[in-house]
């Protein structure tokens, strides 16, 4: 058995044993010897971290030349279980494993619910097995196990807040609708191939119409899991309500498996496809990137903001995947490899900085009891480690040098720009639109995270919760620290992971030489372009030090004395005079007023003695989910009306029910007679 196989199976065994270790004492041990919540948290956290470590090692081994395949025909009825891990699956297994390590360490001090302690290791195992599945049956079983375990984790705190139950219902419906589409597409594909193994699917040559049907069905299902517009409505609900380390697992690891499904089916199993497939993917990605970051820019809920940022980043990844498909369909394997390498590098970068941001948000929630940015502020003095972690994560997510997302978005722009010369009409129209979407998204991301960090962590506290904030336990700080180290390494040395990404890209698009190479300097192969994040960071540091030194040398030395700052006679500033998240976002809201369609209401209350004297004025302004309001609310209204109409059929009369059956059988017989 190869190294990758050994560690993958070790990860599965450790995860299951961890879940049993956290669950069994609750059922079989007397209350007097029942371990406390702290002990269970340590067992669950360490076990989850070990599971993630084994999975990450298996993924790295698969990417560095040790793929494997094993069949276990007796494990499941009918088709059995087939495990096959190659470089493409190994990349996503590594992402899941790395995030699991960070979430496990963090969960030692954070997780207190027994549901979290038992289900999180099983959730990690399910996510590790999804990219390692080698057959349709195995993939669907692991996919559904991932969906069910994540649903249990989302509704962990349903007794505490009604919003949790609502988020659970939305997530349950959307994830299972997505599963139905994936199931339908893969079953149609397997029926054409005559076998459900991925090897048989690769060898099959379905008709163009069948291949298009398979791609569209699976695209809908996988896009739903990735949180792509308009199937994203579950994501900003479920991620804020889940425990924060679970939010990190879902946002940084689980949603990327939707991207894995699109790449695996579209490129590997179907062998590419016509141009319209990838134009559709690129359009969905650009729409999701812009819409997601606009919603994040307007949000005042810290975790909801991060969830909407996930929609944005998965949109950017799909822009790269769609561009790679367009270039591959035109025969340009160099640009196809570059675009897909940019997308896969962004998957890694997003996993690192989104894990850090969600863990920091969980620390804020742990230390203050709120995630409302308008009620925070002043956390840098009371929670310095959390402030540093969130500041680093905000820089990493902002696509500015030396941020983690900078190199992957730079590579994506290089692929899009170099794809313009000699392109057809569709590509010539799509590429500039995609470039504009990526550029607009990058600018809005900077504004969004400046708002989140500046309003939430700096200035004066705007509530008693922020005034009484306290730093998180050491295990939570350690989890954030490890995530921060991952962000710094990926920001300064992205070339360290480029060979592995090149191997995964080769599996998907069949590119020969790596599209990106280099050690310190990242160089593009086949096109002109190079960047050195390490040297760029060094230059920025030197420039800052030089400017600061010059200011100190030029400044005139004078004796210092304490004096009150001039305040125009208005008195000292108070927290009520500071920018809130709502006021900070108002200029952007005005610019994109027609897109976000804000709702506002003004209530004027008068004194009872005189209607001419105003007692209070209340102003409310909110930015609703426009897609939900225009698409989902009418659909839900139709379903509700249908349900109310259906109640009239169920009267409790046995005679009426027998009549329903009689007329149904008669109608079926007439249909069969007419169609034979």
Indicate if the pLDDT at residue 27 is higher than 50.
no
Select from 511, 533, 387, 402 the least CA-distant residue to 461.
387
Dist. CA 313–CA 309, nearest whole Å:
6
Q: Which residues pair with 516 in a beta bridge?
A: 524
pLDDT level of residue 608 (50, 70, 90 thresholds): confident
At residue 423, the pLDDT reads 62
pTM: 0.91
CA distances from 319 to 104, 284, 429, 536, 612 (A): 32, 8, 14, 26, 58
Q: Which residues pair with 70 in a beta bridge?
A: 83
Mean pLDDT of the region 625-647: 85
Runs of H (alpha helix) within 379-424 = 379-382, 384-397, 404-418
- Pull the structure tokens for residue 607: 């004194």
Structure confidence by residue, pLDDT tens digits, 469-527: 899 999 999 999 999 999 999 999 888 888 888 888 888 887 566 777 777 888 887 77
Mean pLDDT of the region 391-402: 90
Mean pLDDT of the region 401-419: 89
Stronger pLDDT, 644 or 282, i.e. the higher one: 282
Indicate if the pLDDT at residue 131 is higher than 60.
yes
Mean pLDDT of the region 192-214: 89
Q: Who's near 313: CB < 8 A, 6+ residues apart? A: 289, 292, 346, 350, 354, 397, 405
Mean pLDDT of the region 404-410: 91
Select from 471, 512, 519, 460 the least CA-distant residue to 494.
519
At residue 31, the pLDDT reads 38
Indicate if the pLDDT at residue 33 is higher than 60.
no
Stronger pLDDT, 353 or 675, i.e. the higher one: 353
CA distances from 100 to 48, 263, 381, 393 (A): 6, 23, 30, 18
Domain layout of the chain by residue ranges: 283-538+577-594
Percent of the chain at pLDDT exceeding 70: 96
Indicate if the pLDDT at residue 144 is higher than 90.
yes
Contacts of residues 38-44 at CB distance under 8 Å and 24 or more positions apart, as own/partner, are 40/114, 40/117, 41/107, 41/108, 41/109, 41/110, 41/111, 41/112, 41/117, 42/108, 43/18, 43/117, 44/18, 44/104, 44/107, 44/111, 44/116, 44/117, 44/118, 44/120, 44/121
Instruction: Kindly write down the DSSP assignment for every residue of 499-526, as one continuous string.
Output: HHHHHHHHHHH--SS-SEE-SSSEEESS
At residue 18, the pLDDT reads 87
pLDDT level of residue 606 (50, 70, 90 thresholds): confident
pLDDT level of residue 342 (50, 70, 90 thresholds): very high
């Amino acid at each position: 058995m190869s190294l990758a196989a050994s560690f993958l199976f070790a990860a599965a065994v450790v995860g299951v044993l961890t879940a049993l270790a956290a669950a069994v004492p609750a059922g079989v041990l007397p209350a007097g010897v029942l371990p406390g919540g702290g002990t269970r948290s340590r067992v669950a956290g360490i076990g989850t971290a070990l599971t993630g470590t084994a999975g990450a090692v298996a993924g790295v081994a698969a990417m560095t030349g040790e793929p494997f395949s094993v069949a276990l025909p007796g494990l499941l009825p009918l088709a059995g279980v087939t495990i096959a891990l190659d470089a493409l699956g190994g990349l996503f297994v590594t992402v899941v494993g790395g995030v699991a390590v960070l979430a496990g360490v963090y969960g030692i001090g954070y997780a207190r619910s027994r549901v979290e302690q038992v289900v999180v290791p099983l959730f990690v195992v399910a996510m590790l097995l999804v990219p390692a599945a080698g057959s349709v049956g195995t993939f669907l079983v692991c996919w559904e196990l991932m969906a069910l375990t994540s649903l249990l984790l989302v509704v962990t705190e349903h007794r505490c807040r009604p919003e949790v139950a609502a988020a659970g219902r939305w997530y349950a419906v959307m994830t299972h609708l997505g599963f139905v589409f994936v199931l339908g597409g893969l079953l149609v594909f397997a029926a054409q191939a005559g076998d459900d193994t991925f090897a048989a699917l690769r060898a099959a040559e379905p008709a163009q119409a069948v291949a298009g049907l398979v791609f569209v069905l699976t695209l809908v299902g996988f896009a739903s899991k990735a949180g792509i517009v308009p199937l994203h409505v579950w994501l900003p609900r479920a991620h804020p309500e889940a425990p924060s380390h679970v939010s990190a697992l879902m946002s940084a690891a689980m949603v990327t498996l939707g991207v894995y499904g699109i790449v695996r089916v579209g490129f590997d199993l179907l062998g590419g496809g016509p141009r319209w497939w990838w134009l559709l993917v690129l359009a969905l990605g650009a729409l999701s990137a812009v819409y997601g970051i606009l919603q994040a820019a307007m949000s005042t809920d810290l975790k909801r903001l991060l969830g909407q940022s996930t929609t944005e980043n998965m949109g950017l990844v799909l822009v790269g995947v769609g561009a790679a498909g367009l270039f591959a369909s035109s025969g340009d394997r160099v640009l196809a490899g570059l675009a897909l390498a940019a997308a896969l590098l962004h998957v890694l970068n997003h996993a690192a900085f989104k894990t850090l941001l969600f863990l920091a948000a969980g620390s804020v929630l742990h230390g203050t009891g709120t995630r409302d940015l308008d009620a925070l502020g002043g956390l840098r003095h009371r929670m310095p480690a959390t402030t540093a972690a969130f500041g680093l994560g905000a820089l990493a997510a902002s696509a500015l040098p030396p941020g983690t997302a900078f190199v992957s978005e730079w590579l994506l722009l290089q692929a899009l720009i170099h794809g313009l010369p000699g392109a057809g009409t569709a590509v010539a129209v799509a590429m500039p639109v995609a470039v504009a979407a990526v550029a607009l998204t990058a600018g809005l991301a900077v504004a969004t995270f400046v708002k989140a960090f500046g309003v939430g962590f700096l200035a004066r506290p705007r509530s008693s919760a922020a005034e009484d904030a306290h730093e998180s336990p050491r295990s939570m700080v350690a989890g954030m620290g490890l995530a921060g180290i991952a962000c710094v390494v990926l920001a300064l040395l992205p070339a360290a992971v480029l060979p592995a990404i090149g191997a995964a890209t080769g599996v998907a698009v069949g590119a020969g030489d790596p599209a990106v190479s280099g050690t310190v300097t990242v160089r593009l192969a086949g096109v002109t372009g190079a960047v050195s994040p390490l040297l760029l960071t060094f230059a920025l540091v030197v420039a800052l030090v030089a400017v600061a030194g010059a200011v100190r040398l030029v400044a005139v030395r004078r004796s210092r004395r304490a004096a009150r700052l001039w305040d125009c006679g208005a008195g000292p500033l108070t927290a009520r005079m500071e920018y809130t998240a709502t006021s900070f976002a108002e200029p952007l809201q005005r610019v994109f007023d027609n897109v976000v369609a804000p709702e506002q209401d003004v209530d004027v209350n008068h004194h009872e003695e005189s209607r001419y004297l105003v007692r209070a004025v209340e102003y409310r302004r909110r930015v609703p989910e426009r897609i939900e309001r225009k698409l989902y609310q009418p659909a839900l209204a139709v379903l509700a009306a249908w349900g109310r109409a259906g109640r009239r059929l169920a009267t409790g009369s046995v005679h009426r029910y027998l009549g329903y059956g009689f007329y149904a059988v008669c109608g079926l017989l007439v249909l069969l007679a007419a169609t034979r």
